[in-house]
Structure 1
Protein backbone atom coordinates (compact mmCIF):
# COMPACT_ATOMS: atom_id res chain seq x y z
CA UNK A 1 0.00 0.00 0.00
CA UNK A 2 1.31 3.46 -0.88
CA UNK A 3 1.77 6.00 1.89
CA UNK A 4 -1.09 8.15 0.59
CA UNK A 5 -3.34 5.10 0.57
CA UNK A 6 -2.21 4.21 4.08
CA UNK A 7 -2.96 7.73 5.35
CA UNK A 8 -6.47 7.53 3.90
CA UNK A 9 -6.94 4.11 5.51
CA UNK A 10 -5.72 5.49 8.81
CA UNK A 11 -8.20 8.40 8.65
CA UNK A 12 -11.02 6.03 7.73
CA UNK A 13 -10.24 3.77 10.71
CA UNK A 14 -10.07 6.72 13.10
CA UNK A 15 -13.31 8.14 11.69
CA UNK A 16 -15.18 4.97 12.66
CA UNK A 17 -13.86 4.80 16.24
CA UNK A 18 -15.57 6.60 19.10
CA UNK A 19 -12.81 5.97 21.63
CA UNK A 20 -9.04 6.44 21.39
CA UNK A 21 -7.15 3.57 19.77
CA UNK A 22 -3.50 2.83 20.44
CA UNK A 23 -0.69 2.93 17.93
CA UNK A 24 -0.16 -0.80 18.54
CA UNK A 25 -3.76 -1.57 17.56
CA UNK A 26 -3.56 0.66 14.48
CA UNK A 27 -0.28 -0.95 13.48
CA UNK A 28 -1.94 -4.36 13.61
CA UNK A 29 -4.87 -3.17 11.50
CA UNK A 30 -2.62 -1.71 8.82
CA UNK A 31 0.15 -4.33 9.05
CA UNK A 32 2.88 -1.79 9.75
CA UNK A 33 5.09 -0.93 12.69
CA UNK A 34 4.11 1.34 15.56
CA UNK A 35 6.88 3.68 14.47
CA UNK A 36 5.18 4.01 11.08
CA UNK A 37 1.90 4.86 12.80
CA UNK A 38 3.60 7.60 14.82
CA UNK A 39 5.04 9.10 11.63
CA UNK A 40 1.72 8.84 9.78
CA UNK A 41 -0.24 10.45 12.61
CA UNK A 42 2.31 13.28 12.72
CA UNK A 43 1.88 13.76 8.96
CA UNK A 44 -1.92 13.89 9.28
CA UNK A 45 -1.64 16.49 12.04
CA UNK A 46 0.75 18.54 9.90
CA UNK A 47 -1.84 18.49 7.10
CA UNK A 48 -4.50 19.85 9.43
CA UNK A 49 -6.40 16.65 10.18
CA UNK A 50 -7.74 17.03 13.77
CA UNK A 51 -6.24 13.91 15.33
CA UNK A 52 -6.13 14.08 19.13
CA UNK A 53 -4.11 12.01 21.58
CA UNK A 54 -0.57 10.74 21.72
CA UNK A 55 1.75 7.84 22.42
CA UNK A 56 0.57 5.77 25.37
CA UNK A 57 -2.88 7.44 25.31
CA UNK A 58 -4.29 6.52 21.93
CA UNK A 59 -5.57 8.51 18.98
CA UNK A 60 -9.00 9.85 18.13
CA UNK A 61 -10.33 11.86 15.20
CA UNK A 62 -12.18 14.91 16.47
CA UNK A 63 -15.96 14.65 15.83
CA UNK A 64 -17.28 16.57 12.85
CA UNK A 65 -14.29 16.03 10.56
CA UNK A 66 -15.56 15.11 7.10
CA UNK A 67 -13.72 12.50 5.08
CA UNK A 68 -14.87 12.30 1.43
CA UNK A 69 -16.00 8.79 0.41
CA UNK A 70 -12.94 7.92 -1.68
CA UNK A 71 -12.30 4.44 -0.37
CA UNK A 72 -15.51 2.48 -0.88
CA UNK A 73 -14.98 -1.18 -1.71
CA UNK A 74 -17.10 -2.48 -4.59
CA UNK A 75 -19.45 -4.28 -2.22
CA UNK A 76 -19.80 -1.18 -0.04
CA UNK A 77 -20.70 0.89 -3.07
CA UNK A 78 -23.23 -1.74 -4.16
CA UNK A 79 -24.85 -1.59 -0.72
CA UNK A 80 -25.03 2.21 -0.86
CA UNK A 81 -26.58 2.21 -4.33
CA UNK A 82 -29.15 -0.40 -3.31
CA UNK A 83 -30.08 1.76 -0.32
CA UNK A 84 -30.37 4.91 -2.45
CA UNK A 85 -32.63 3.12 -4.94
CA UNK A 86 -34.78 1.85 -2.09
CA UNK A 87 -35.11 5.43 -0.83
CA UNK A 88 -36.06 6.57 -4.32
CA UNK A 89 -38.88 3.99 -4.28
CA UNK A 90 -40.24 4.52 -0.77
CA UNK A 91 -39.01 7.88 0.46
CA UNK A 92 -40.94 11.12 0.45
CA UNK A 93 -39.96 14.06 -1.77
CA UNK A 94 -37.37 15.32 0.74
CA UNK A 95 -35.56 11.97 1.03
CA UNK A 96 -35.75 11.32 -2.73
CA UNK A 97 -34.05 14.65 -3.39
CA UNK A 98 -31.45 13.86 -0.71
CA UNK A 99 -30.75 10.45 -2.28
CA UNK A 100 -30.25 12.03 -5.69
CA UNK A 101 -27.87 14.63 -4.22
CA UNK A 102 -25.95 11.96 -2.33
CA UNK A 103 -25.49 9.90 -5.49
CA UNK A 104 -24.19 12.96 -7.34
CA UNK A 105 -21.72 13.77 -4.55
CA UNK A 106 -20.44 10.20 -4.42
CA UNK A 107 -20.07 10.11 -8.19
CA UNK A 108 -18.08 13.34 -8.16
CA UNK A 109 -15.34 11.94 -5.93
CA UNK A 110 -15.11 8.34 -7.16
CA UNK A 111 -12.33 7.31 -9.53
CA UNK A 112 -13.53 6.78 -13.13
CA UNK A 113 -13.29 2.97 -13.00
CA UNK A 114 -15.70 2.89 -10.06
CA UNK A 115 -18.33 5.01 -11.77
CA UNK A 116 -19.80 2.01 -13.58
CA UNK A 117 -21.12 0.74 -10.25
CA UNK A 118 -23.25 3.87 -9.95
CA UNK A 119 -24.68 3.58 -13.44
CA UNK A 120 -24.90 -0.22 -13.72
CA UNK A 121 -25.13 -1.67 -10.20
CA UNK A 122 -25.27 -5.43 -9.71
CA UNK A 123 -28.08 -5.28 -7.13
CA UNK A 124 -31.55 -3.83 -7.48
CA UNK A 125 -34.53 -3.44 -5.12
CA UNK A 126 -37.80 -5.28 -5.63
CA UNK A 127 -40.75 -3.94 -7.60
CA UNK A 128 -41.89 -0.43 -6.78
CA UNK A 129 -44.75 -0.42 -4.26
CA UNK A 130 -48.16 1.03 -5.01
CA UNK A 131 -48.39 4.81 -4.47
CA UNK A 132 -48.44 5.74 -0.81
CA UNK A 133 -51.54 7.47 0.59
CA UNK A 134 -51.18 11.25 0.81
CA UNK A 135 -50.23 12.73 4.17
CA UNK A 136 -52.13 15.56 5.81
CA UNK A 137 -49.10 16.40 7.96
CA UNK A 138 -45.80 16.63 6.05
CA UNK A 139 -43.16 14.12 7.06
CA UNK A 140 -40.67 16.95 7.43
CA UNK A 141 -42.68 18.28 10.39
CA UNK A 142 -42.52 14.85 12.00
CA UNK A 143 -38.77 14.62 11.33
CA UNK A 144 -38.25 18.04 12.92
CA UNK A 145 -40.16 16.95 16.03
CA UNK A 146 -38.07 13.76 16.26
CA UNK A 147 -34.82 15.69 15.99
CA UNK A 148 -35.97 18.21 18.61
CA UNK A 149 -37.31 15.39 20.84
CA UNK A 150 -40.66 17.17 21.16
CA UNK A 151 -43.90 15.68 22.46
CA UNK A 152 -46.65 15.76 19.87
CA UNK A 153 -50.36 16.00 20.45
CA UNK A 154 -51.87 14.24 17.44
CA UNK A 155 -55.37 13.66 16.14
CA UNK A 156 -55.40 10.17 14.67
CA UNK A 157 -57.96 8.31 12.56
CA UNK A 158 -58.05 4.52 12.81
CA UNK A 159 -58.96 2.13 9.99
CA UNK A 160 -62.68 2.58 10.74
CA UNK A 161 -62.36 6.37 10.62
CA UNK A 162 -62.75 6.91 14.37
CA UNK A 163 -60.74 9.86 15.69
CA UNK A 164 -58.67 9.86 18.87
CA UNK A 165 -56.34 12.35 20.49
CA UNK A 166 -52.96 11.13 21.67
CA UNK A 167 -49.86 12.60 23.26
CA UNK A 168 -46.83 10.81 21.84
CA UNK A 169 -43.05 10.94 21.93
CA UNK A 170 -41.92 10.53 18.29
CA UNK A 171 -38.92 8.25 17.83
CA UNK A 172 -38.57 7.10 14.21
CA UNK A 173 -40.36 7.03 10.85
CA UNK A 174 -40.80 3.64 9.20
CA UNK A 175 -41.03 3.23 5.41
CA UNK A 176 -43.08 0.08 4.77
CA UNK A 177 -44.26 -1.44 1.50
CA UNK A 178 -47.80 -0.05 1.68
CA UNK A 179 -47.59 2.81 4.18
CA UNK A 180 -45.31 5.02 6.21
CA UNK A 181 -45.58 4.93 9.98
CA UNK A 182 -44.52 7.04 12.93
CA UNK A 183 -43.09 4.94 15.75
CA UNK A 184 -43.63 6.66 19.09
CA UNK A 185 -44.11 6.20 22.81
CA UNK A 186 -47.82 6.71 23.53
CA UNK A 187 -48.61 8.34 26.86
CA UNK A 188 -52.16 6.94 26.79
CA UNK A 189 -51.08 3.32 26.30
CA UNK A 190 -47.80 3.65 28.20
CA UNK A 191 -46.14 1.64 25.47
CA UNK A 192 -44.74 1.97 21.96
CA UNK A 193 -47.22 2.31 19.13
CA UNK A 194 -47.00 2.89 15.38
CA UNK A 195 -49.26 5.39 13.64
CA UNK A 196 -49.77 5.47 9.88
CA UNK A 197 -48.63 8.90 8.80
CA UNK A 198 -51.53 9.29 6.33
CA UNK A 199 -53.97 8.91 9.26
CA UNK A 200 -52.36 11.62 11.39
CA UNK A 201 -54.79 14.48 10.82
CA UNK A 202 -53.05 17.19 12.82
CA UNK A 203 -50.17 17.75 15.23
CA UNK A 204 -49.45 20.30 17.93
CA UNK A 205 -45.86 20.46 19.11
CA UNK A 206 -45.32 20.49 22.86
CA UNK A 207 -42.43 20.44 25.31
CA UNK A 208 -39.39 18.20 25.09
CA UNK A 209 -40.18 14.70 26.24
CA UNK A 210 -38.48 13.53 29.47
CA UNK A 211 -36.29 10.83 27.93
CA UNK A 212 -33.21 10.41 25.77
CA UNK A 213 -34.11 9.54 22.20
CA UNK A 214 -31.18 7.11 21.96
CA UNK A 215 -32.63 5.13 24.85
CA UNK A 216 -36.11 5.21 23.29
CA UNK A 217 -34.74 3.87 20.00
CA UNK A 218 -33.07 1.00 21.85
CA UNK A 219 -36.27 0.18 23.73
CA UNK A 220 -38.36 0.49 20.57
CA UNK A 221 -36.22 -2.05 18.74
CA UNK A 222 -36.44 -4.42 21.70
CA UNK A 223 -40.22 -4.00 21.66
CA UNK A 224 -40.39 -4.73 17.93
CA UNK A 225 -38.16 -7.79 18.29
CA UNK A 226 -40.36 -9.20 21.07
CA UNK A 227 -43.49 -8.51 19.00
CA UNK A 228 -41.98 -10.33 16.03
CA UNK A 229 -41.05 -13.32 18.20
CA UNK A 230 -44.56 -13.48 19.62
CA UNK A 231 -46.09 -13.41 16.13
CA UNK A 232 -43.78 -16.22 15.01
CA UNK A 233 -44.74 -18.28 18.07
CA UNK A 234 -48.45 -17.79 17.33
CA UNK A 235 -47.96 -19.05 13.76
CA UNK A 236 -46.22 -22.17 15.03
Structure 2
Protein backbone atom coordinates (compact mmCIF):
# COMPACT_ATOMS: atom_id res chain seq x y z
CA UNK A 1 0.00 0.00 0.00
CA UNK A 2 1.31 3.46 -0.94
CA UNK A 3 1.85 6.06 1.76
CA UNK A 4 -0.82 8.31 0.21
CA UNK A 5 -3.36 5.50 0.31
CA UNK A 6 -2.43 4.73 3.91
CA UNK A 7 -2.93 8.38 4.91
CA UNK A 8 -6.32 8.38 3.24
CA UNK A 9 -7.31 5.20 5.07
CA UNK A 10 -6.22 6.78 8.35
CA UNK A 11 -8.42 9.81 7.63
CA UNK A 12 -11.38 7.55 6.89
CA UNK A 13 -10.87 5.73 10.19
CA UNK A 14 -10.63 9.03 12.07
CA UNK A 15 -13.94 10.20 10.56
CA UNK A 16 -15.75 7.22 12.08
CA UNK A 17 -14.82 8.34 15.59
CA UNK A 18 -16.39 11.31 17.31
CA UNK A 19 -14.31 10.82 20.43
CA UNK A 20 -10.54 10.34 20.87
CA UNK A 21 -9.21 6.98 19.68
CA UNK A 22 -5.92 5.49 20.83
CA UNK A 23 -2.96 5.08 18.54
CA UNK A 24 -2.94 1.35 19.35
CA UNK A 25 -6.55 0.99 18.15
CA UNK A 26 -5.71 2.84 14.93
CA UNK A 27 -2.65 0.67 14.35
CA UNK A 28 -4.64 -2.53 14.87
CA UNK A 29 -7.42 -1.45 12.51
CA UNK A 30 -5.03 -0.44 9.74
CA UNK A 31 -2.62 -3.32 10.24
CA UNK A 32 0.48 -1.16 10.77
CA UNK A 33 2.83 -0.48 13.64
CA UNK A 34 2.14 2.08 16.34
CA UNK A 35 5.25 3.95 15.23
CA UNK A 36 3.83 4.20 11.70
CA UNK A 37 0.56 5.60 13.07
CA UNK A 38 2.38 8.33 15.00
CA UNK A 39 4.43 9.18 11.92
CA UNK A 40 1.34 9.31 9.69
CA UNK A 41 -0.52 11.52 12.18
CA UNK A 42 2.35 13.99 12.05
CA UNK A 43 2.28 13.87 8.23
CA UNK A 44 -1.44 14.67 8.21
CA UNK A 45 -0.91 17.54 10.63
CA UNK A 46 1.77 18.93 8.32
CA UNK A 47 -0.78 18.96 5.49
CA UNK A 48 -3.31 20.89 7.54
CA UNK A 49 -5.33 18.22 9.31
CA UNK A 50 -6.58 19.44 12.68
CA UNK A 51 -5.78 16.39 14.82
CA UNK A 52 -5.92 16.90 18.56
CA UNK A 53 -4.50 14.57 21.18
CA UNK A 54 -1.31 12.83 22.16
CA UNK A 55 0.17 9.40 22.67
CA UNK A 56 -1.33 7.61 25.65
CA UNK A 57 -4.44 9.82 25.61
CA UNK A 58 -5.91 9.39 22.13
CA UNK A 59 -6.43 11.39 18.95
CA UNK A 60 -9.45 12.98 17.29
CA UNK A 61 -9.80 14.65 13.87
CA UNK A 62 -11.73 17.90 13.72
CA UNK A 63 -14.20 17.99 10.77
CA UNK A 64 -13.59 19.83 7.53
CA UNK A 65 -10.26 18.44 6.30
CA UNK A 66 -9.85 16.67 2.95
CA UNK A 67 -6.58 15.26 1.75
CA UNK A 68 -5.79 16.73 -1.72
CA UNK A 69 -6.05 15.53 -4.39
CA UNK A 70 -9.36 13.72 -3.93
CA UNK A 71 -8.51 10.02 -3.90
CA UNK A 72 -10.54 6.83 -4.06
CA UNK A 73 -9.62 3.19 -4.27
CA UNK A 74 -10.59 1.25 -7.42
CA UNK A 75 -13.42 -0.42 -5.50
CA UNK A 76 -14.71 2.97 -4.29
CA UNK A 77 -14.67 4.33 -7.86
CA UNK A 78 -16.61 1.33 -9.12
CA UNK A 79 -19.10 1.78 -6.28
CA UNK A 80 -19.62 5.42 -7.30
CA UNK A 81 -20.08 4.49 -10.96
CA UNK A 82 -22.46 1.64 -10.19
CA UNK A 83 -24.47 3.78 -7.79
CA UNK A 84 -24.81 6.65 -10.24
CA UNK A 85 -25.89 4.29 -13.02
CA UNK A 86 -28.48 2.71 -10.75
CA UNK A 87 -29.87 6.12 -9.81
CA UNK A 88 -29.99 7.16 -13.47
CA UNK A 89 -32.06 4.05 -14.30
CA UNK A 90 -34.33 3.92 -11.24
CA UNK A 91 -34.87 7.51 -10.09
CA UNK A 92 -36.55 10.54 -11.61
CA UNK A 93 -34.85 12.59 -14.32
CA UNK A 94 -33.51 15.42 -12.08
CA UNK A 95 -31.98 12.94 -9.62
CA UNK A 96 -30.49 10.87 -12.42
CA UNK A 97 -28.95 13.98 -13.98
CA UNK A 98 -27.57 14.98 -10.56
CA UNK A 99 -25.86 11.58 -10.23
CA UNK A 100 -24.19 11.96 -13.61
CA UNK A 101 -23.13 15.52 -12.82
CA UNK A 102 -21.65 14.43 -9.50
CA UNK A 103 -19.48 11.87 -11.30
CA UNK A 104 -18.25 14.51 -13.70
CA UNK A 105 -17.25 16.76 -10.78
CA UNK A 106 -15.49 13.91 -9.02
CA UNK A 107 -13.66 12.98 -12.22
CA UNK A 108 -12.44 16.57 -12.62
CA UNK A 109 -10.43 16.40 -9.39
CA UNK A 110 -9.21 12.79 -9.53
CA UNK A 111 -5.63 11.98 -10.51
CA UNK A 112 -5.44 10.89 -14.18
CA UNK A 113 -4.83 7.20 -13.42
CA UNK A 114 -7.94 7.02 -11.24
CA UNK A 115 -10.06 9.21 -13.51
CA UNK A 116 -9.90 6.55 -16.22
CA UNK A 117 -11.73 4.17 -13.92
CA UNK A 118 -14.87 6.29 -14.13
CA UNK A 119 -15.23 5.56 -17.84
CA UNK A 120 -13.77 2.06 -17.89
CA UNK A 121 -15.95 0.49 -15.21
CA UNK A 122 -17.32 -2.87 -16.34
CA UNK A 123 -20.19 -2.90 -13.82
CA UNK A 124 -23.50 -2.45 -15.63
CA UNK A 125 -27.04 -1.79 -14.42
CA UNK A 126 -30.03 -3.39 -16.12
CA UNK A 127 -32.81 -1.04 -17.16
CA UNK A 128 -35.41 -0.45 -14.49
CA UNK A 129 -39.17 -0.17 -14.74
CA UNK A 130 -40.15 3.11 -16.43
CA UNK A 131 -41.62 5.75 -14.16
CA UNK A 132 -45.40 5.69 -14.08
CA UNK A 133 -47.45 8.83 -14.59
CA UNK A 134 -47.89 9.44 -10.86
CA UNK A 135 -44.16 9.16 -10.29
CA UNK A 136 -43.51 12.39 -12.17
CA UNK A 137 -44.05 14.03 -8.78
CA UNK A 138 -40.96 12.40 -7.27
CA UNK A 139 -38.88 15.63 -7.38
CA UNK A 140 -41.60 17.49 -5.44
CA UNK A 141 -41.85 14.65 -2.95
CA UNK A 142 -38.09 14.67 -2.39
CA UNK A 143 -38.20 18.43 -1.87
CA UNK A 144 -41.03 18.08 0.66
CA UNK A 145 -39.01 15.48 2.57
CA UNK A 146 -35.98 17.78 2.71
CA UNK A 147 -38.08 20.72 3.93
CA UNK A 148 -40.26 18.57 6.24
CA UNK A 149 -43.45 19.78 4.57
CA UNK A 150 -46.82 18.06 4.81
CA UNK A 151 -48.37 16.61 1.66
CA UNK A 152 -52.03 16.40 0.79
CA UNK A 153 -52.51 13.48 -1.58
CA UNK A 154 -55.32 11.70 -3.37
CA UNK A 155 -54.37 8.03 -3.31
CA UNK A 156 -55.75 4.88 -4.96
CA UNK A 157 -55.21 1.53 -3.23
CA UNK A 158 -54.64 -1.82 -4.96
CA UNK A 159 -58.39 -2.18 -5.59
CA UNK A 160 -58.71 1.29 -7.08
CA UNK A 161 -60.54 2.83 -4.11
CA UNK A 162 -59.38 6.41 -3.65
CA UNK A 163 -59.01 8.51 -0.53
CA UNK A 164 -57.52 11.85 0.42
CA UNK A 165 -54.85 12.09 3.12
CA UNK A 166 -52.53 14.51 4.79
CA UNK A 167 -49.18 12.79 5.27
CA UNK A 168 -45.77 13.65 6.71
CA UNK A 169 -43.23 12.25 4.22
CA UNK A 170 -39.98 11.11 5.83
CA UNK A 171 -38.35 8.89 3.20
CA UNK A 172 -38.60 7.70 -0.38
CA UNK A 173 -37.68 4.08 -1.12
CA UNK A 174 -36.54 3.13 -4.64
CA UNK A 175 -37.25 -0.53 -5.39
CA UNK A 176 -36.90 -2.35 -8.70
CA UNK A 177 -40.67 -2.62 -9.06
CA UNK A 178 -41.91 0.51 -7.32
CA UNK A 179 -41.06 3.77 -5.59
CA UNK A 180 -42.57 4.06 -2.13
CA UNK A 181 -43.26 7.06 0.10
CA UNK A 182 -42.71 6.37 3.79
CA UNK A 183 -44.90 8.74 5.80
CA UNK A 184 -46.93 9.37 8.91
CA UNK A 185 -50.61 9.41 7.92
CA UNK A 186 -52.84 11.81 9.85
CA UNK A 187 -55.95 9.84 8.87
CA UNK A 188 -54.64 6.53 10.28
CA UNK A 189 -52.55 8.15 13.03
CA UNK A 190 -49.73 5.78 12.16
CA UNK A 191 -46.96 5.17 9.66
CA UNK A 192 -48.05 4.10 6.20
CA UNK A 193 -46.34 3.28 2.89
CA UNK A 194 -47.71 4.77 -0.33
CA UNK A 195 -46.69 3.67 -3.82
CA UNK A 196 -45.82 6.79 -5.79
CA UNK A 197 -47.45 5.42 -8.94
CA UNK A 198 -50.81 5.35 -7.12
CA UNK A 199 -50.74 9.01 -6.14
CA UNK A 200 -53.48 10.62 -8.20
CA UNK A 201 -52.96 14.18 -7.02
CA UNK A 202 -50.42 15.85 -4.77
CA UNK A 203 -50.12 19.23 -3.09
CA UNK A 204 -47.19 20.43 -1.00
CA UNK A 205 -48.45 22.32 2.05
CA UNK A 206 -46.81 25.50 3.34
CA UNK A 207 -46.69 24.26 6.93
CA UNK A 208 -44.13 21.80 8.26
CA UNK A 209 -45.01 18.74 10.27
CA UNK A 210 -44.64 19.05 14.05
CA UNK A 211 -41.87 16.50 14.69
CA UNK A 212 -38.29 16.29 13.41
CA UNK A 213 -37.85 13.98 10.46
CA UNK A 214 -34.91 12.22 12.15
CA UNK A 215 -37.12 11.40 15.15
CA UNK A 216 -39.87 10.03 12.92
CA UNK A 217 -37.34 7.93 11.00
CA UNK A 218 -36.12 6.31 14.21
CA UNK A 219 -39.69 5.56 15.26
CA UNK A 220 -40.50 4.05 11.86
CA UNK A 221 -37.32 1.94 11.83
CA UNK A 222 -38.04 0.67 15.33
CA UNK A 223 -41.56 -0.31 14.31
CA UNK A 224 -40.55 -1.98 11.08
CA UNK A 225 -37.41 -3.68 12.40
CA UNK A 226 -35.62 -2.39 9.31
CA UNK A 227 -32.13 -3.05 10.62
CA UNK A 228 -32.89 -6.74 11.12
CA UNK A 229 -33.96 -7.59 7.58
CA UNK A 230 -32.11 -8.10 4.32
CA UNK A 231 -32.77 -5.77 1.40
CA UNK A 232 -34.85 -8.38 -0.44
CA UNK A 233 -36.94 -9.15 2.65
CA UNK A 234 -37.56 -5.45 3.27
CA UNK A 235 -38.68 -4.85 -0.31
CA UNK A 236 -41.00 -7.85 -0.44
CA UNK A 237 -42.42 -7.15 3.02
CA UNK A 238 -43.08 -3.49 2.30
CA UNK A 239 -44.68 -4.05 -1.11
CA UNK A 240 -46.80 -6.95 0.17
CA UNK A 241 -48.18 -4.88 3.02
CA UNK A 242 -48.88 -1.93 0.75
CA UNK A 243 -51.11 -4.22 -1.33
CA UNK A 244 -52.73 -6.03 1.60
CA UNK A 245 -53.31 -3.64 4.49
CA UNK A 246 -56.03 -1.04 4.63
CA UNK A 247 -54.47 2.27 3.66
Structure 1 residues 33 and 121 mapped into 2: Cα distance closer, same or farther (>3 Å)? closer
The whole-number CA distance in structure 1 between the counterparts of 2:223 and 2:97 is 28
Residue pair 1:172, 1:183 contacting (<8 A) in 2 also: yes
Where 2:133 maps in the other structure, the secondary structure is coil
Residue pair 1:153, 1:203 contacting (<8 A) in 2 also: yes
- Do structure 1's residue 228 and structure 2's residue 237 form an aligned pair? yes
In the TM superposition, residue 173 of structure 1 has moved relative to its aligned partner by 0.9
Residue pair 2:151, 2:168 contacting (<8 A) in 1 also: no
Where 2:225 maps in the other structure, the secondary structure is helix
Structure 1 residues 105 and 15 mapped into 2: Cα distance closer, same or farther (>3 Å)? farther
- Do structure 1's residue 173 and structure 2's residue 148 form an aligned pair? no
Aligned residues between the structures: 228
Residue 155 of structure 1, aligned match among 138, 142, 153: 153
| Match of residue 9 from structure 1 | 9
- Do structure 1's residue 218 and structure 2's residue 221 form an aligned pair? yes
- TM norm structure 1: 0.78
- What is the root-mean-square deviation in Å for CA atoms of aligned residues? 3.2
In the TM superposition, residue 23 of structure 1 has moved relative to its aligned partner by 0.5
Superposed, 1:191-210 pairs within 5 Å as 191-198=190-197, 199=199, 200-210=201-211
- TM norm structure 2: 0.75
Where 1:195 maps in the other structure, the secondary structure is strand
In the TM superposition, residue 154 of structure 1 has moved relative to its aligned partner by 1.1
In the TM superposition, residue 194 of structure 1 has moved relative to its aligned partner by 1.7
Residue pair 1:156, 1:201 contacting (<8 A) in 2 also: yes
- Do structure 1's residue 75 and structure 2's residue 93 form an aligned pair? no
The whole-number CA distance in structure 1 between the counterparts of 2:169 and 2:209 is 11
The whole-number CA distance in structure 1 between the counterparts of 2:209 and 2:184 is 13
In the TM superposition, residue 11 of structure 1 has moved relative to its aligned partner by 1.4
Residue pair 1:132, 1:179 contacting (<8 A) in 2 also: no
| Match of residue 185 from structure 1 | 184
The whole-number CA distance in structure 1 between the counterparts of 2:203 and 2:118 is 40
The whole-number CA distance in structure 1 between the counterparts of 2:8 and 2:148 is 36
Superposed, 1:4-83 pairs within 5 Å as 4-66=4-66, 69-72=70-73, 74-83=74-83
